[in-house]
C-alpha cells in the first residue's frame, strides 16, 4: 500500500504530460488570399513544404538563404541532427550514430532548405500529407520561428552541409538535437507558431504532427488555423 500514492501521482503526471496542449497564437482575420503550406510525413520524420515566393518576399536571413537555392517553386523545410539527418547511407549502417543522436544531449543540428520544382505532394500518399491554409500573418509567424532556428552567431548564415548531386542545403542551427527535442518536436513548434494547436509530448511521432494539422484545418471557426 505504501506504493499506492506514488503510483497514483506518477500516473497523474504521465496523463498530464500526454494531454498537455499548447494553443497557437490567434491571427487577425485574413484580408488576402490564404497561403498554402503542406506537411509531409515519411513515416517517422516531418517536413514542411512552403511556397518559395512567400519566403523570398521576406527580408532577413531566411529569405536570403532561400534566394541562394537552385530553382523550385516550393521549399522543403526540415530540421535534425547535423550528422544523422544529412547522411543518406542505409539506416542499418547508421544505428550507432542514431543512438548517439537520440541519447547524447546537446547535438549540433541543421535546418534543411530543399528547392522542389514539382508538386511536393506527389511523392507522398494521402495519409502521409496534410494541407494548411494560413493567413499572411500566421505564415510570417511560422517563418519567423524557422528563422529563429538559424545560427547567426558569426553574423551570417552558415551552410553546415550539402550532399553531392542534391540541391538541399543544410544551414547551421542554434538549437540542439536529442530525444527531448526531435525533428517532429521542431516541426510541431513551427506549426504552433503559425497557429496550430499541438500536444508537445505526443509530437515525438510524425503521425501526431499530421493529426494536429488536420484538426486545425477542420476547426474552421478558429482564426489561428
- The reported pLDDT for the residue numbered 179 is 94
Local confidence band at 30 (pLDDT 50, 70, 90 cut-offs): low
Tens digits of residue pLDDT in 164-177:
889 999 999 999 99
Task: Quote the CA–CA distance of 4 and 225 in Å, as a whole number.
Answer: 43
Please tell me the distance from the alpha carbon of residue 183 to that of residue 46, in angstroms, as a whole number. Answer: 7
pLDDT band at 24 (very low <50, low <70, confident <90, very high): low
Cell of 150: 538559424
Interatomic CA distance for residues 99 and 186, integer angstroms: 19
91 pLDDT band (50/70/90 cuts)?
confident
CB-neighbour burial class of residue 156 (10 A; exposed 0-12, middle 13-18, buried 19+): exposed
Least confident range of 11-20, 62-71, 124-133: 11-20
Predicted confidence (pLDDT) at residue 184 exceeds the cutoff of 60: yes
Residue 106 has pLDDT above 60, yes or no: yes
pLDDT at residue 222 greater than cutoff 80: no
Q: In sequence order, what E strands does the chain have? A: 35-41, 46-51, 74-81, 107-116, 129-134, 159-162, 169-177
Amino acid at each position: 500500500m505504501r506504493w499506492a500514492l506514488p503510483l497514483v501521482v506518477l500516473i497523474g503526471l504521465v496523463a498530464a504530460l500526454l494531454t498537455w496542449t499548447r494553443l497557437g497564437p490567434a491571427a487577425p482575420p485574413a484580408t488576402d488570399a490564404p497561403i498554402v503550406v503542406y506537411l509531409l510525413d515519411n513515416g517517422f520524420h516531418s517536413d514542411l513544404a512552403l511556397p518559395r515566393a512567400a519566403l523570398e518576399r521576406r527580408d532577413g536571413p531566411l529569405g536570403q538563404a532561400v534566394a541562394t537555392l537552385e530553382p523550385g517553386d516550393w521549399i522543403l523545410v526540415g530540421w535534425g541532427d547535423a550528422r544523422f539527418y544529412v547522411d543518406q547511407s542505409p539506416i542499418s549502417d547508421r544505428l550507432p550514430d542514431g543512438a548517439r543522436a537520440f541519447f547524447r544531449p546537446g547535438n549540433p543540428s541543421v535546418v534543411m532548405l530543399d528547392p522542389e520544382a514539382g508538386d511536393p505532394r506527389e511523392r507522398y500518399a494521402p495519409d502521409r500529407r496534410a494541407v494548411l491554409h494560413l493567413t499572411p500573418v500566421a505564415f510570417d509567424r511560422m517563418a519567423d520561428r524557422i528563422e529563429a532556428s538559424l545560427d547567426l552567431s558569426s553574423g551570417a548564415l552558415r551552410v553546415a552541409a550539402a550532399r553531392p548531386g542534391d540541391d538541399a542545403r543544410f544551414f547551421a542551427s542554434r538549437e540542439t538535437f536529442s530525444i527531448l527535442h526531435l525533428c517532429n518536436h521542431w516541426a510541431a513548434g513551427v506549426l504552433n507558431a503559425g497557429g496550430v494547436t499541438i500536444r508537445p509530448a505526443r509530437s515525438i511521432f510524425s503521425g501526431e504532427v499530421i493529426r494536429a494539422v488536420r484538426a486545425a484545418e477542420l476547426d474552421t471557426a478558429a482564426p489561428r488555423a
